[in-house]
A and B are shown apart, each in its own frame.
Chain A
């Protein structure tokens, strides 16, 4: 006699039979237990000797149900073919531990199965069965609830979202000194409706600003929606097709309501997959508008010459991490690489890559399941080793989920790396003409600050650096001369009151030396004739028949006047030189 079955276990079995489509049924039936998937899983590689992490073993937790209730032989003699039903709530909890805690649905095993068994798809199916009876990690329940109730998975309220957009707009206008930069909201008939990951609105709004700058300088007719702006979809992670349909429909409704021509999805692997690939199936909608990833949009802008980029602004060695959803479920592997090569100077491939890449270990909603964090971080060793081998200082990805997963493992494994999205690199490489003059007027120049007071040296160095230039400093004339001989700067700021040798003397030496005579000098000095009766610079240069300095400013300096003087001197020097 089989044991009595719990209510929830019965519901799981009933729903399982309802949800089985042909693809899932074939995947459940076709496995020959060859074990070729075993070492394709990052969990297995990080836990050698533990067969419970093997993809086929994990898949068999659901396959047992299939064998016991659907398969021909299994219904007659279940044990012969490995079939076993579920009876208790404890067994459902065990299944939860496997399908949520030991798999990120990365699909690497699926693409390595000789039989074409799509394990990730039915792992998602198993998650959906459990969610249907309320068996799921708490974090998953919380996020799903937020997405059902508030319309986005991070519970960002509409007023906070709109305020963030407003804030970013003001930041951009200030940064580029351009009041015409806008982040349009609910603009009708726009070419592009831009949908984002709520993580951007909540934790990292810079990426919204960066995307807005790119759209602005590309001259794009674009908008964001005040509703239906979250392109992420927790339905993909928790296996709830109804939630998947609701989230996707919200975004589609927003685009159709605004009569947008194209939906552009910001960088998010699961968001892109959910919105572009799975959403139309879940929502049963045949959509009239186009959809694309912002990666494709940015690449097109550069290729069409709509934005100009300077790759030297991203000089650090960079590698690319393929998001599982982008690479293994949506085929987006080449566009990000093409874009990365256009905006960085040192791109290094990671191995394996593209559809064969390893998961960041934060996928499949893993970042919301804190109870499995130690297990996740242990499995991340595979990714950490991959990253370390590239020697890169920046790991670029095109997925917010991967950003969090990679950030976590970089910290855990103490890697000397930053994580960046492509939009940040493109925005950093952006070269609108206004930017160089108005925002960072001293960019590309080197300045030598000569002053005996440490505070003044630090103050001026910081000020110049903030305005884009490289700075060296010297506390006296002798050290200054050594620095100048080693590498002549583009400009010198000179204090006249220096120990041992005065600034006047140094000025004289420089102007007499034809190697350095053309270096512009801005005198920044606080001497007063009462304190230093012997110093009279104007008289000195007149007596010595020296050319006047390019600028003469008394301390305390007026910052704007100083930057303007330095900037003008540099431009004139460059023009005359």
Chain B
């Protein structure tokens, strides 16, 4: 097994740990900040519908991410939802790979594993490019986009591209892709808490509170009847 250079060793180990600790610290502070805002209280009586209550509503809301049929906005756009899944799978796989390469390289050493990772990264990268194009070309999306929206997306596209190149994990054949991947990962971890990418931190909170209220009032889970049903 080829030994990584000291710089690559630093980039994939100590730098990542440092970046992760920084991210954890900032996230802790951010959660503390969120909890500093007083939560509105629901005093109204329950809806009376035995199938709907605050707890069920909150879980329904939290699991909304896995229920594309629950909202017209996702139900009527299966391709868009598939893109969402592919993109987020790619990001999750890339984060996982940043742990596996330095600490358990054998788990992704086989050719099929590398191929699977590369397919996931390629798909996510393509989705990212499509989303960036949409953000630029669609006047509705362009009108709501901030520099951070463009930058975060571009950052992820580049990162996923290097994830694709780094997936074979063959430093003997050149370390550039791996070094770039780990540097980008570290930057990503540090930048995320300050950017829109930290939306996954808000998701459980925002969804929980909305679902709790709407469940208590009998709105969630949403009951619907479509034409022809």
Name A residues whose Cβ lies closer than 8 Å to a Cβ of B. 20-23, 25-27, 29-30, 32-33, 35-40, 44, 49, 51-52, 54, 56-57, 60, 72-73, 79-82, 110-118, 276-281, 284-287, 290-291, 327-334, 349, 351-356
A111 to B84, CA, bound (A): 18
Query: Chain A's interface: helix, strand, loop or mixed, by majority?
Result: helix
Nearest CB of chain A from residue B222's CB, rounded to whole Å: 5
Chain A proximity of B83: nearest CB distance (Å):
11
Across the A-B interface, the 5 shortest Cβ-Cβ residue pairs: A331-B218, A82-B146, A51-B143, A280-B43, A30-B202
A to B CB contacts below 8 Å, 29 in the list = A26-B202, A26-B206, A26-B209, A29-B202, A30-B202, A30-B203, A33-B145, A35-B138, A54-B143, A73-B148, A80-B147, A80-B148, A81-B196, A82-B147, A111-B219, A116-B207, A278-B44, A291-B45, A327-B219, A329-B214, A330-B47, A330-B218, A331-B47, A334-B223, A349-B225, A351-B227, A354-B223, A354-B225, A355-B223
Smallest Cβ distance from B56 to chain A, in angstroms?
A: 12
**Taking A79-B147, A116-B207, A333-B223 as contacts, is the C-beta distance between A36 and B74 under 8 angstroms?**
yes
In-complex Cβ contact of A51 among B139, B196, B222 (8 A): B139
B173 within 8 A of partner (CB) = no
Complex Cα distance, B49 from A112, in Å, reads 23
Q: Is B32 an interface residue (CB 8 A)?
A: no
How close is A84's CB to chain B, nearest CB, in angstroms? 10
Once bound together, how far apart are the Cα atoms of A355 and B215, in whole Å? 13
Q: In the complex, given contacts A116-B207, A116-B210, A352-B72, what are 10 additional A-B residue pairs having Cβ atoms less than 8 angstroms apart? A: A23-B213, A35-B141, A52-B143, A80-B146, A80-B147, A280-B43, A281-B42, A281-B44, A330-B47, A356-B222
CB of B82 within 8 A of chain A?
no
Chain B residue nearest to A333 (CB atoms) is B223
Task: Please name the residue on chain A nearest to B203 by beta carbon.
Answer: A115
B residues in contact with A25, CB < 8 Å: 34, 37
Q: A21-B37, A22-B35, A25-B34 are in contact. Are A351 and B226 (CB under 8 A)?
A: yes
B172 within 8 A of A: no
A32 to B203: give the CA distance in the assembly, Å: 10
Return chain B residues, CB-CB under 8 Å to A30.
Answer: 199, 202-203, 205-206
Q: Which residues of A contact B39 (CB under 8 A)?
A: 21-23
Residue in B closest to A276 when the chains form the complex, CB atoms: B44
What is the CA–CA distance of A57 and B141 in the complex, to the nearest angstrom?
A: 9
Closest to B37 in A: A22
Give min CB distance, A278 to chain B, whole Å. 8
The interface residues of chain B lying within 8 Å CB-to-CB of A56 are 144
A354–B224 CA distance with the chains assembled, in angstroms: 6
Provide the residues of chain B in CB contact with A332, threshold 8 Å. Answer: 218
Q: Which residues of A contact B142 (CB under 8 A)?
A: 51
Contact in complex: A281, B49 (CB < 8 Å): no
* Contacting residues, chain B, for A285 (C-beta < 8 A): 43
> Nearest Cβ distance between residue A210 and chain B, in whole angstroms?
25
> Pick the contact of A33 from B41, B71, B196 — CB < 8 Å?
B196
Give the secondary structure class of B's interface: helix
Distance A29 CA – B72 CA, assembled complex (angstroms): 23
Q: How far is the CB of B47 from chain A (nearest CB, A)?
A: 5
Q: Bound complex: CA of A328 vs CA of B143, how far in Å?
A: 28
B107 cross-chain contacts in A, Cβ below 8 A = none
In the docked arrangement, what's the CA distance between A38 and B72, Å? 12
B-chain residues with CB within 8 Å of residue A279 when the two chains form the complex = 44
Q: A21-B40, A80-B147 are in contact. Are A38 and B64 (CB under 8 A)?
A: no
Q: How many A-B pairs with Cβ below 8 Å?
A: 180
Say whether B219 contacts A328, CB under 8 Å: yes
* With A23-B210, A49-B139: A81-B227 Cβ-Cβ less than 8 Å: no
Measured between beta carbons, the chain B residues less than 8 angstroms from A52 are 143
Contacts of B202 in A (CB 8 A): 26, 29-30, 115
Q: Which A residues lie within 8 Å of B214 (CB)?
A: 329, 331
Inter-chain contact A40/B73, CB cutoff 8 Å: yes
A56 to chain B, nearest CB (A): 5
Interface residues of B (CB under 8 A from A): 30, 33-35, 37-45, 47, 49, 52, 61, 64-65, 71-74, 77, 80, 84, 138-149, 194-196, 199, 202-203, 205-207, 209-211, 213-214, 217-220, 222-227
Least Cβ distance of A494 to chain B in Å? 54
Complex Cα distance A8/B205, Å? 33
When the two chains form their complex, are residues B224 and A280 in contact, meaning their CB atoms are under 8 A apart? no
What distance in Å separates the Cβ of A117 from its nearest Cβ neighbour in chain B? 7
B209's nearest neighbour on chain A, judged by CB, is A23
Interfacial chain B residues near A278, Cβ < 8 Å: 44
Q: Which residues of A contact B223 (CB under 8 A)?
A: 333-334, 354-355
CA gap between A332 and B218 in the complex, in Å? 7
Q: Which of A80, A111, A327, A351 has the most CB of B within 10 A?
A: A111
Known: A21-B37, A112-B72, A349-B225. A329 touches B199 (CB 8 A): no
B224 surroundings in chain A (CB, below 8 A): 352-356
Q: What is the minimal beta-carbon distance from A28 to any residue of chain B, in angstroms? A: 10
Distance of A476 Cα from B34 Cα, bound (Å)? 87
**Complex Cα–Cα for A27 and B34 (A):** 11
Partner of B210, one of A21, A44, A60, A118: A118
CB distance from A11 to the nearest CB of B (A): 21
For the complex formed, measure the closest distance between the CB of B19 and the CB atoms of chain A, giving whole angstroms.
Answer: 18
Please tell me which one of the listed residues A112, A277, A349 contacts residue B217 in the complex, with CB atoms under 8 A apart.
A277
Residues of B within 8 A of A44 (CB): 140
Query: Min CB distance, A24 to chain B, in Å?
Result: 8
- Please give me the residue from chain A that is nearest to B198 by CB atom: A29
Measured between alpha carbons, how far is A57 from B144 in the docked complex, in Å? Answer: 6
Which residues of the partner chain B approach A23 to less than 8 Å between Cβ atoms?
A: 39-40, 206, 209-210, 213
Bound state CA distance, A35 and B137, in angstroms? 13
Question: In the complex, which residue of chain B has the Cβ closest to the Cβ of A337?
Answer: B225
Shortest beta-carbon distance, A276 to chain B, in Å? 6
Q: Which residue of A lies closest to B142 (CB)?
A: A51
Cα separation A72 to B61 with both chains bound (whole Å): 27
Which residues of A are found within 8 Å of B138, using beta-carbon distances?
35
Question: Closest approach, in angstroms, between the C-beta of B11 and any C-beta of chain A?
Answer: 26
The answer for the CA separation of A463 and B103 in the assembled complex, in Å, is 96
